[in-house]
Amino acid sequence: MTTVTEVGAPSPSPAPIRAEPRGDHRGSWIPSRGMVTTRCMELRRRRGLMIALIAVNIGIPVVFLGVRLISHAVDPKSYGPAGGYSIFTTLVTGFMYVFGFVVAAVVGCTAGSVDLTEGMFRHLVITGRSRLALYFARIPAGLAIVIAMVAVGYTIVCAVCVFAAPTQLNYDGVNVPVGLSQPALDSWAAAHADEVICDFNFHGGAGLNGPPPNVTCGGQSIGPPPGTVIQTKGGGTFTVPAAESPAQIRAFAVTVANQDYADYHSNFLVPSTTLMVEVGLWIALEATIGFMVGLGLSSLMGQRTVAVILLIVLELILTPIFSRHVISHLLNVQRGIVGVAMAHIEPGGLPTPFSGGGGGGPGANPLIPESTLASSLVIVGWIVFWTAIGAWRMRTRDA
């Protein structure tokens, strides 16, 4: 039997195919790769900022070392080698450390305020992206640029300081063999007594209570002439002998060498590989702190200029003052400054960055007391605090 379907009756519709739900990650606080790439591109397109970053981290060290290389090549007797340990410490602590922080802070302040100053913040919010993701995307984007510039400049400095280093150690104007033990330095000083007495720095103390021997330095004799009566600190008198014996002169030179051995032992022809790695990580951490603090502060304030000025004042004025002068009622506040904490975790073998390149010589104020653990906690606290402040302000700001 044939069944005839009624004309006009609706045909049964197929069962709807249920589509698999697609996850929408726009509400996630974790930034996507595209967001980070976009932020990095926005910073790189700011030509003035990139020129300043390249000029400070790469250009100035290259010019300084280039002038030294040319000068030494033209007149090696008048100009010393371009590299070496002393040039390395001078560039690192006197320039790259301080100005690396400043330039990184400028990049951070730019990254934290560019959306507001250019009126793009509202357009970013209406896309539905998480505000936290918008903030956190700036961190890897900015650090990728800052750390790369710092690494390039630091690599150039290390290369020149190693390959253009002097072949002989010049200590206090005297060419001295490198890496001598204390007995070996004493033997060398006894054999070069006149040079040691004339050029080495020495001060009173055990074995040096009397005046220096009357030796000839540069055609002139130093020390009082024989027969001179000298008034001592205790109220007595001391008569300079008619002539010092060679044994007395050698003994005086050995005593001077013993006084200067600690300072001599801290001088090298080239920085060691371990020191260069440690200093590189230390400078990179300083630049990271500068970027993170600048990012959070500018996000909190909503603009860049004042934030940059405040960070420059912190790094160039407040930190050097608070790092060496103990204020009894503000000691814990001084210890909480991130620059002071960074000075306390400085790799060994470097002069302190706020001593003007002179290191911790006699009369120099030491750093305020602070443990390594406390310094590490202060550094972590600054990074976490300013990251949290910047993210909070981004999340609560009106679009």
Residue 327: the pLDDT is 83
**Residue 356: what pLDDT?**
44
Within 13 Å and on the Cβ side, how many CA atoms surround 53? 27
Residue with tokens 């060994």: 348
**Alpha-helix residue ranges (DSSP H) falling in 75-209:** 85-91, 97-117, 121-125, 131-136, 138-163, 182-191, 193-199
pLDDT, one tens digit per residue, over 59-78 is 999 999 999 999 989 988 88
Whether the Cβ atoms of residue 62 and residue 156 lie closer than 8 Å to each other:
yes
Measured CA to CA, the distance from residue 192 to residue 388 in angstroms comes to: 62
State the pLDDT at residue 348.
81
**Amino acid at residue number 214:** N
CA distances from 222 to 150, 183, 213, 218 (A): 49, 27, 7, 10
Q: What is the chain's mean pLDDT, rounded?
A: 80
Residue 390 to residue 43: CA distance in whole angstroms: 18
Average pLDDT over residues 13-34: 62
pLDDT value at residue 224: 57
Mean pLDDT of the 136-155 span: 94
Kindly report the three-state secondary structure assignment for every residue of 246-278: HHHHHHHHHHHHHHHHHHHHCCCCCCCHHHHHH
- d(CA 289, CA 57) in angstroms, rounded, equals 16
Count the Cβ atoms, other than its own, within 10 Å of residue 86: 21
| Domain spans, the chain | 33-165+271-396, 179-264
Looking at residues 166-184, what average pLDDT do you find? Answer: 77
CB burial class (10 A; 0-12, 13-18, 19+) of residue 200? buried
Q: CA 112, 288, 140, 88 torsion: positive or negative? A: positive
Cβ pair 277, 158 in contact under 8 A:
no
Residue 6 has pLDDT above 90, yes or no: no
Predicted local confidence at residue 168, as pLDDT: 75
pLDDT per residue as tens digits for the range 270-313 = 888 899 999 999 999 999 999 999 999 999 998 889 999 999 99
Task: Write out pLDDT tens, residues 214-267.
Answer: 666 655 555 556 555 555 555 555 555 555 677 777 888 788 888 777 777 767
Contact 215, 193 (CB under 8 A): yes
Q: How high is the pLDDT of residue 358?
A: 40
pLDDT at 20: 46
CB 288 within 8 A of CB 306: no
Ordered DSSP codes for 28-97: -SSPPHHHHHHHHHHHHT-HHHHHHHHIIIIIHHHHHHHHHHHHHHH-TTTS--S-SHHHHHHHIIIIIH
Average pLDDT over residues 186-214: 70
